[in-house]
């Protein structure tokens, strides 16, 4: 296993060398040869350190550039996602409106069918039961006509009531389905 390198360990060799050179710089009895040798070593280490600093700066600049590009790409993608979400919301609302209109049309057709059935039943009752009774008791055909006119006038309110009832029932079913 490799040993975890701490920040102080990375530069430990340079720090040790710097401490050696400082100790030697304070030695007044140091021969000129040794001073030149230490100076050359110091220059070499400094040159290597500048090279490493340039390399680190170059790598850092490239990473920073890539990070900026990645952030820009993420921002564009985020904007695209937000636009798509907005479009989806609009489309969902249009779809919901269309579904509501279809439900209303379906309920309207069913209500009309029921009202037509009621009208037929009322007409049969009027023709078969009420009109003969009225003609027998009053001898007047116009009263039978009034019954038929009353039935015709009552058809629209009956249609409205049936449609409202069926819409409430459909909305109640829709709510129970959406809560699941």
Please write the tens of the pLDDT for every residue from 15-68.
Answer: 888 888 888 878 888 888 888 888 898 899 889 889 988 999 999 999 999 999
pLDDT at 1 over 50: no
pLDDT of residue 84: 96
How many angstroms separate the Cα of 31 from the Cα of each of 23, 38, 43? 14, 11, 18
Using the structure block, give the residue that is written with the tokens 């990645």: 70
Q: Where are the domains of the chain?
A: 10-178
Q: For the ranges 19-23, 170-174, 176-180, which has the lowest average pLDDT?
A: 176-180
Q: Is the pLDDT of residue 130 over 70?
A: yes
Question: Contacts by 165-168 with C-beta closer than 8 Å and gap 24+?
Answer: 166/107, 166/110, 166/111, 167/103, 167/104, 167/107
> How would you label 107-127 residue by residue, b for 16+ Cβ within 10 Å and e otherwise?
beeebeebbeebbeebeeebe
Phi, psi dihedral angles at 36 (to 5 degrees): -65, -40
Q: How far apart are alpha carbons 125 and 122 in whole angstroms?
A: 5
Q: CA–CA separation, 118 vs 124, rounded Å?
A: 10
Alpha-carbon distance of 178 to 157, in angstroms, equals: 31
Query: What is the Cα–Cα distance from 42 to 48, expressed in whole angstroms?
Result: 10
Looking at residue 3, the DSSP 8-state letter turns out to be P
Report helix, strand or coil for 76.
helix
Residues 21/22/26/29 CA torsion (nearest 10 deg): -10
């Amino acid at each position: 296993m490799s040993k975890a390198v701490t920040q102080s360990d990375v530069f430990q060799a340079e720090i040790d060398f710097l401490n050696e050179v400082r100790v030697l710089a304070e030695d007044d009895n140091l021969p000129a040869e040794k001073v030149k040798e230490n100076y050359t070593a110091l220059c070499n280490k400094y040159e290597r350190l500048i090279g490493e600093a340039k390399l680190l700066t170059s790598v850092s600049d490239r990473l920073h550039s890539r990070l900026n590009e990645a952030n820009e790409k993420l921002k564009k993608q985020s904007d695209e996602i937000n636009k798509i979400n907005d479009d989806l919301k609009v489309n969902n609302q249009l779809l919901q409106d269309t579904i509501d209109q279809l439900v209303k049309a379906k309920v309207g057709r069913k209500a009309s069918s029921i009202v037509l059935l009621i009208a037929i039943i009322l007409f049969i009752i009027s023709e078969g039961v009420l009109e003969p009774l009225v003609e027998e008791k009053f001898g007047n055909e116009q009263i039978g006509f009034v019954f038929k006119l009353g039935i015709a006038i009552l058809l629209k309110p009956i249609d409205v009531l049936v449609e409202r009832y069926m819409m409430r029932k459909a909305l109640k079913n829709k709510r129970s389905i959406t809560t699941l």
